[in-house]
Amino acid sequence: MSIVRPDSMERITTKALADAFIEEQVAAVRAQVGDKKVLLALSGGVDSSVVAALLIKAIGKQLVCVHVNHGLMRKGESEQVIEVFGKELDANLIYVDATDRFLDLLAGVSEPEKKRKIIGGEFIKVFDEESSKLEGISFLAQGTIYPDILESDGVKAHHNVGGLPEDMEMELVEPVALLYKDEVRVVGEALGLPHAMVYRQPFPGPGLGVRCLGAITRDRLAALREADAILREEFDKNGLAGKVWQYFIAVPDVKSVGVRDGKRYEGWPAIIRAVNTSDAMTATIEEIPYALLHHITDRITHEVEGINRVLYDLTPKPIGTIEWE
C-alpha cells in the first residue's frame, strides 16, 4: 500500500518547520527501532545524507552506514562523506573502496546499458558482502522521498537495496518518505549538514560511469574527474551553481590533434553540459557568458592531462537527454 502525504501537512520551508519535523521523526524512529541496529547505504547524495544525519541524531551508533566507493564518484565526494559522517558526526561508518573491483569489471565494456547493469549489480554484491558481516541488524534505512512514491506507486526499484541475505528480515525505516526534494534540503541544513552536500546537484547512480563515454579507461576517467572539478569550481565562483539545475562534463572515447608545448599531440574533448529544468522531462540550455567559457576552456586544456578541446552542448531536451548515456 502506498504512503500518502496528508493534505494537512504543511510544506517545510523554514528552519522552524524543519526543526519540528526533525523532532517528530526522531521520536518516531526511536519508537520504531528501540535498541536495535539500522543499516543504511550512504551514497553521499542528498537523500541518503539527510536520512543518515537524522538517524544519527535519533539513535547514534545504532545506525551502521556503509559507503561504497565504486571509483566513479566526483572529485572529493567520498572524502567528504568520510569527513562529515566519519569524523564530524562520529557515525558508525563502514567505508569500502571498491574502485579496482568496479573498474576491472568495466574494462572494455562500451554499451551504456551493460555498463549500468554491471555498476548496479556489483554495488548490490559489495553491499551484500558488507551487510553479511554484521550481526543484529533489524532495520534497513532508505532515502526514499515522496516523488519516488508518486512516480512509481511505491518505492522506486533503485531506491531499494536488493540482494541482501534472505535471513535478514529487515523492516524499512524511511523518515523522509513524505517530503519533496526541496523540503529534504531544508531539513538537511537544519541538521547542520554542509551546504554543498545538501544542495548537491542530481548525480546518476552509475556516477561518472555514464559520463566517461564508451569503454571506461582509468586515464580518461581521471581526466573527466579533474575537468568536472574545474567546471564545478568555476560555476561556484561565478554564481552559477545555484542558478543552473545540472552541469557536468562528459568525455567521449574520441581523440583529436592538439598542440602543447609546441608539439602536436592527441587528446580527448571535454563536453560541457549545463541545463535547467523543473521536472527533468524537458530541459533548456543555460546561456553561459562567453568570457567564462573561455576561462573554463583555458583552465581545463592547460590543467588536465589528456584534454585538448572543450565543447559546449547546446542541445535542449528534447531532442537530447540530460545525460549522454
In this prediction, residues 24-39 reach a mean pLDDT of 97
Whole-Å CA distances, 173 to 16, 37, 206, 321:
24, 11, 24, 33
Identify which has the larger pLDDT, 159 or 272. 272
d(CA 125, CA 131): 10
pTM of the model: 0.86
Which pLDDT value is given to residue 60?
97
**What are 78-130's pLDDT values in tens digits?**
999 999 999 999 999 999 999 999 999 999 999 999 999 999 999 999 999 99
Q: How many CA atoms lie within 13 A of 295 on its CB side?
A: 12
Locus of grid cell 527501532 = 33
Dihedrals phi, psi of 180, to nearest 5 degrees: -85, 165
Which pLDDT value is given to residue 139?
95
Among 6-15, 54-63, 151-160, 194-203, which stretch is predicted with the lowest mean pLDDT?
151-160
Query: Model confidence at 304, in pLDDT bands (50, 70, 90)?
Result: very high
Whole-Å CA distances, 125 to 39, 86, 161, 165:
15, 23, 10, 11
Contacting residues for 151 by C-beta, under 8 A, at least 6 apart: none
pLDDT exceeds 60 at position 159: no
**What are 172-230's pLDDT values in tens digits?**
999 999 999 999 999 999 999 999 899 888 888 899 999 999 999 999 999 999 999 99
Catalogue all structural domains in the chain, each as residue range(s) with its CATH number: 15-198 (3.40.50.620), 211-312 (3.30.300.10)
Which pLDDT value is given to residue 155?
37
Which pLDDT value is given to residue 161?
42
Check if the beta carbon of residue 19 is closer than 8 Å to that of residue 190.
yes
Query: Model confidence at 31, in pLDDT bands (50, 70, 90)?
Result: very high
In this prediction, residues 64-71 reach a mean pLDDT of 96
pLDDT exceeds 60 at position 73: yes
Which pLDDT value is given to residue 160?
47
Contacting residues for 118 by C-beta, under 8 A, at least 6 apart: 102, 105, 106, 109
Q: What percent of the chain has pLDDT over 70?
A: 94
pLDDT exceeds 90 at position 167: no
Q: For the chain, give the mean pLDDT.
A: 92
Burial class (CB in 10 A: 0-12, 13-18, 19+), 227: buried
Which pLDDT value is given to residue 152?
63
Which pLDDT value is given to residue 149?
85
Query: Model confidence at 7, in pLDDT bands (50, 70, 90)?
Result: confident
Rounded to 10 degrees, the C-alpha dihedral 223/226/228/231 comes to -130
Which pLDDT value is given to residue 280?
79
Which pLDDT value is given to residue 205?
86
d(CA 221, CA 119): 15
d(CA 247, CA 228): 9
pLDDT exceeds 80 at position 1: no
**What are 251-285's pLDDT values in tens digits?**
999 999 998 888 899 999 999 999 998 877 899 99
Query: Model confidence at 242, in pLDDT bands (50, 70, 90)?
Result: confident
Q: And the C-alpha cell for 241?
A: 551553481
